[in-house]
Structure 1
Amino acid sequence: MVLIGSVTPWSSAAAQGTSAPSAPAVSPASPDPITPYLHARYRLETVDQADIAQSATASTLRLRAGLRTAVWNGLSALVEGEAVVRLGPRDYNDTVNGRTAYPAVPDPTDVLLNQAYVRWQPARELDVVAGRQTVNLDNQRWVGSVDWRQNDQTLDAVRVGIAPAAGARIDYVHSWRVNRVFGPDSPQGIWRDSNIHLLRGSATVPTAGTLTAYGYWLDLPAAPALSSRTLGVRFAGDHAMDGGVKLYMAGEYAHQRSHGANPRRIGHDYWLIEPGLGVGPVVARVGYERLEGDGTTALQTPLATLHAFNGWTDRFLTTPADGLRDLYGDLQWRLGPVFTDAPATLRLQWHDFNATHGGRNYGREAGAWLTVPVTRRITTSFKLSHYDAQRFASDTTKAWLSIEARY
Structure 2
Amino acid sequence: MQRVRKLSTLTALILLTSSSISVSANSENEIKSNAKASVDFNLRYETVDQDNTAKDASVLTLRSRLNYTTASYSGFSGIVEFEDSRQIAGVDDYNDTVSNNTQYSVIADPETTELDQAFVQYKRDKLTAKIGRQVITLDNHRYVGHVGWRQDRQTFDAVTLNYAALNNLKISYSYLNKRNRIFADVKDLHSKDHLLNLAYNTNFGQLTAYSYLLEVDEGTSNGLDTFGISFKGKKDNFSYFAEFATQDSETAGTDYSTSYIAIEGGYSFDAITIKLGAEILGSDKARYGFSTPLATLHKFNGWSDQFLGTPKEGLVDLYASVSGKAFSGSWTVALHDFSADEATDTVDDLGSEINAIYAKRFSKHYKAGLKYAAYSAGDSSAGKVDTDKVWLWISANF
Q: Same fold (TM over 0.5)?
A: yes
Q: In the aligned structure 1, how far is the partner of 2:252 from the partner of 2:262?
A: 25
3-state SS of 2:91 partner:
coil
Whose radius of gyration is greater, 1 or 2? 2
3-state SS of 2:130 partner:
strand
Asked if the contact 1:226–1:302 (Cα under 8 Å) also holds between the matched residues in 2, the reply is no
Q: Deviations over 1:295-328 (max 9, x none)?
A: 2111100000000000000000000000000000
How big is the shift at 1:131? Answer: 0.4
Asked if the contact 2:135–2:156 (Cα under 8 Å) also holds between the matched residues in 1, the reply is yes
Cα pair distance change 1:377/1:226, threshold 3 Å: farther
The residue type paired with residue 361 of structure 1 is: D
1:180-199 equivalence runs, <5 A:
180-185=181-186, 189-192=187-190, 194-199=191-196
The residue type paired with residue 38 of structure 1 is: V
Q: In the aligned structure 1, how far is the partner of 2:338 from the partner of 2:366?
A: 36
Asked if the contact 1:225–1:264 (Cα under 8 Å) also holds between the matched residues in 2, the reply is no
The residue type paired with residue 213 of structure 1 is: A
Cα pair distance change 1:222/1:307, threshold 3 Å: farther
Which of these residues, 222, 228, 240, is aligned with residue 249 of structure 1?
A: 240
What value does the CA root-mean-square deviation take over the aligned residues?
1.6
Q: Which residue of 1 aligns with 2:17?
A: none
Which of these residues, 90, 93, 100, is aligned with residue 91 of structure 1?
A: 93
The residue type paired with residue 131 of structure 2 is: A
Q: Which residue of 2 aligns with 1:358?
A: 343
Give 1 or 2: higher helix fraction: 2
Q: Which residue of 2 aligns with 1:203?
A: 200
The residue type paired with residue 93 of structure 1 is: N
Q: In the aligned structure 1, how far is the partner of 2:287 from the partner of 2:209?
A: 28
How big is the shift at 1:374? Answer: 1.2
Q: How does the TM-score come out when normalised to structure 2? A: 0.88
Q: Which residue of 2 aligns with 1:312?
A: 303
Q: In the aligned structure 1, how far is the partner of 2:295 from the partner of 2:279?
A: 15
Q: After TM superposition, which residue ranges in structure 1, 4 or more long, deviate above 4 angstroms?
A: 222-226
Structure 1 position 291 matched with structure 2 position 281: yes
Q: Which residue of 2 aligns with 1:230?
A: 226
Q: In the aligned structure 2, how far is the partner of 1:230 from the partner of 1:71?
A: 36
Q: Which residue of 1 aligns with 2:102?
A: 100
1:389-404 equivalence runs, <5 A:
389-391=377-379, 392=382, 393-404=384-395
1:52-71 equivalence runs, <5 A:
52-71=53-72
Q: Which residue of 2 aligns with 1:386?
A: 374
Structure 1 position 155 matched with structure 2 position 156: yes
The residue type paired with residue 286 of structure 2 is: G
3-state SS of 1:136 partner:
coil
Q: In the aligned structure 2, how far is the partner of 1:377 from the partner of 1:219?
A: 40
Asked if the contact 1:116–1:133 (Cα under 8 Å) also holds between the matched residues in 2, the reply is yes
3-state SS of 1:315 partner:
coil
Cα pair distance change 1:328/1:222, threshold 3 Å: farther
Cα pair distance change 1:262/1:173, threshold 3 Å: farther
Q: Deviations over 1:193-246 (max 9, x none)?
A: x1100001011112x110000000001134979631000000011011xxxxx1
Cα pair distance change 1:377/1:318, threshold 3 Å: same
Asked if the contact 1:224–1:263 (Cα under 8 Å) also holds between the matched residues in 2, the reply is no
Deviates more, 1:33-42 or 1:379-388: 33-42
Q: In the aligned structure 2, how far is the partner of 1:381 from the partner of 1:33?
A: 33
Q: In the aligned structure 1, how far is the partner of 2:105 from the partner of 2:287?
A: 27
Structure 1 position 134 matched with structure 2 position 128: no
Any unmatched runs of 5+ in structure 2? Answer: 1-29
The residue type paired with residue 96 of structure 1 is: V
Cα pair distance change 1:103/1:172, threshold 3 Å: same
Q: Which residue of 1 aligns with 2:20?
A: none
Q: Which residue of 2 aligns with 1:82?
A: 83
Asked if the contact 2:353–2:374 (Cα under 8 Å) also holds between the matched residues in 1, the reply is yes
Q: Deviations over 1:161-196 (max 9, x none)?
A: 0001112100000011101100123xxx1111x110
Identity over aligned pairs, percent: 34
3-state SS of 1:258 partner:
strand
Q: Which residue of 2 aligns with 1:12?
A: none
Asked if the contact 2:31–2:73 (Cα under 8 Å) also holds between the matched residues in 1, the reply is no
Asked if the contact 2:290–2:310 (Cα under 8 Å) also holds between the matched residues in 1, the reply is yes
